[in-house]
Structure 1
Amino acid sequence: MANEFVLRSLDEIRFWSRIMKEHSLFLRLGFRCEDTQLIHEANYFYHLFEGIEQKSHTFPVDTDPSVIHRFNVEVHTAVSHIWVFKRKILGLILSCKLPGQNNFPLLVDHVSREANYFRNRLEELNQGKLEPLQDAIIDENVFFLKIMADHAKFIGHLLDPSERKLVDQAREFSNDFDQLLFQATDLSSMRPQSQTQPLLSQFLDQNKVSVTSLRDFKQTARDLIEQCRIKSIIHPLLADHVFREANRFLEIIDMFENHLTGACQPMILSH
């Protein structure tokens, strides 16, 4: 169990600290040139999480759990601070105090939700209070289905309007994941009666099919953007960023399926 705590903690930090670092970059790119204080803060968080990411790779798998416990606390503090920063930006945008900036309010809310998710995961690991499997399946899917729906909306809005076919595909994915999210929240509200093995298995199967299709769409879009073959204002790193998050969701679904079917593989996510 001590070894699993170390592995899971490092896995979460290695994945999400990179995500937090990239959020800082994306937010900075959306600010106006006169937003010097916000740009400075975004740069601070970029380097903070870059350092955390690098430090996470220095710990071997047999590190003393107490050392990782302290590291989790350190990272939790950093994530709490970037969450406050993101919510501050959202407040400024929604109160029309940053006219002309280019960060969608939904995007800022989106990245703050991911920071809160990361923060909660670190707390659960340090307290040794991970959710029961049936609850985790529903809650993780509700969270990630919303993330995937948001991604589809962002892609559709950041592609050039002349890329009509791709814009239509992004809109279709947005609608698909909105429906999946509604189904997931319905299943959640029916708890605990809805937490049967057949219902949860079907729930995971259905989501996996849609996430795989969206992941493949993101991969294609990422490759086309990197090759300068489509018109958009999507940063190549953003295209790869959303692709990695779809892969993460698929890994989580696979992990849940293994536990539901009794494969009993350790609940460790790989990269």
Structure 2
Amino acid sequence: MKEHALFLSLGFTFNEQKLIEEAQQYIAIFEKIEEQLAGYSVNSDPRQIQAFNSHVYQAAVSIWGYKRKVLGLILRCEIRTNNYPLLVDHVSREAAYFAKRLKELNEGKLQPLPEAIIKENVFFLKIMADHAKFIGHLLDPSERKLVEQAREFSHDFDQLLYQAIDLDSMRPQSETPPLLDQFLDQNRVSVVSLRDFKKTARDLIEACRIKSNIHPLLADHTFREAERFIEIIDLFEENLTNGTPTPGQ
């Protein structure tokens, strides 16, 4: 969330000082939350952790509202910004996801039904597809090979996303989705490939060896999210084998 606020602030034009200041306030809010988090451990009082989760939930809901406000301003052409509308929508979806996860933790909802695995994959497949599109558009046009690779990843993850939506539609009510293990395996192969592409791009950007408008932290940010998706897929597969699917909470 802190990095989202930074990316948005970097994309605003100079005359949007109020929006920049709001973004900077969210950077400070989430930095403070990070500092508070360092004081907790697995042995902390559950009531304190629950109160902390509620505090972070409120911050996540607040930054979601800020992101949606910015998106509305862009779509109504009330501001001009270097932030793509899809990128603003993308980071708002991630804020909503984060807030939902925190709420579920505090309600003790740690083990979703098997069919929820597909919905989790739909969310992350859309995130990965968006990343590929952003990379393709933020690379300099002269980086033709990398731009083409990004477009191929965008197409591949769009197809995986549609496939996941179709699989969810075919799922019998209250039953484990069919071919779920095959579905997860296929997703992992594609995410690992995209993760490796992002890692290469990140390293090249940090070394100033490719031309782009991609901030090094943004390159690392998208790499870490691919790593997270792989972890979640592995956790789902592990727990499917044991008969108790759980998310990577």
Q: Which TM bucket (shorter chain)?
A: over 0.9
Amino acid at match of 2:143: E
- TM-score, normalised via structure 1 length: 0.88
How do residues 220-235 of structure 1 correspond to structure 2 at under 5 angstroms? 220-235=200-215
Equivalent residue for 1:216? 196
Equivalent residue for 2:57? 76
Equivalent residue for 1:256? 236
Check if 1:238 corresponds to 2:218. Answer: yes
Q: Please, which of 57, 60, 63 is the counterpart of residue 38 of structure 2?
A: 57
Q: 1:71-129 CA deviation, whole Å, 9 max, x = no partner?
A: 11101111111000000000000000112x10000000000000000000011111112
Q: Call closer, same or farther: CA 1:263–1:216 in 2, change over 3 Å.
A: farther
Check if 1:39 corresponds to 2:20. Answer: yes
- TM-superposed CA distance for 1:139, in Å, is 1.2
- TM-score, normalised via structure 2 length: 0.95
How do residues 59-208 of structure 1 correspond to structure 2 at under 5 angstroms? 59-99=40-80, 101-192=81-172, 196=176, 199-208=179-188
Q: Call closer, same or farther: CA 1:201–1:265 in 2, change over 3 Å.
A: closer
Q: 1:138-160 CA deviation, whole Å, 9 max, x = no partner?
A: 11100000000000000000000
The gaps in structure 1 that reach 5 residues or longer are 1-19
Distance in structure 2 (CA, Å) of the matches to 1:196 and 1:60: 35
Please tell me whether the aligned partners of residues 160 and 231 of structure 1 are also in contact (alpha carbons under 8 angstroms).
yes
Q: 1:27-54 CA deviation, whole Å, 9 max, x = no partner?
A: 0000010111001100000010111112
- The count of corresponding residues between Structure 1 and Structure 2 is 249
Distance in structure 1 (CA, Å) of the matches to 2:127 and 2:245: 26
The gaps in structure 2 that reach 5 residues or longer are none
Equivalent residue for 1:12? none
Distance in structure 2 (CA, Å) of the matches to 1:140 and 1:149: 14
Please tell me whether the aligned partners of residues 110 and 246 of structure 2 are also in contact (alpha carbons under 8 angstroms).
no
- TM-superposed CA distance for 1:214, in Å, is 0.2
Distance in structure 2 (CA, Å) of the matches to 1:203 and 1:130: 22
Q: 1:179-206 CA deviation, whole Å, 9 max, x = no partner?
A: 0000111111122369547611001000
Equivalent residue for 1:11? none
Please tell me whether the aligned partners of residues 146 and 181 of structure 1 are also in contact (alpha carbons under 8 angstroms).
yes
Q: Call closer, same or farther: CA 1:80–1:51 in 2, change over 3 Å.
A: same
Distance in structure 2 (CA, Å) of the matches to 1:147 and 1:108: 12
Q: Call closer, same or farther: CA 1:131–1:139 in 2, change over 3 Å.
A: farther
Distance in structure 2 (CA, Å) of the matches to 1:62 and 1:266: 22
Distance in structure 1 (CA, Å) of the matches to 2:88 and 2:177: 36
Report % sequence identity. Answer: 67
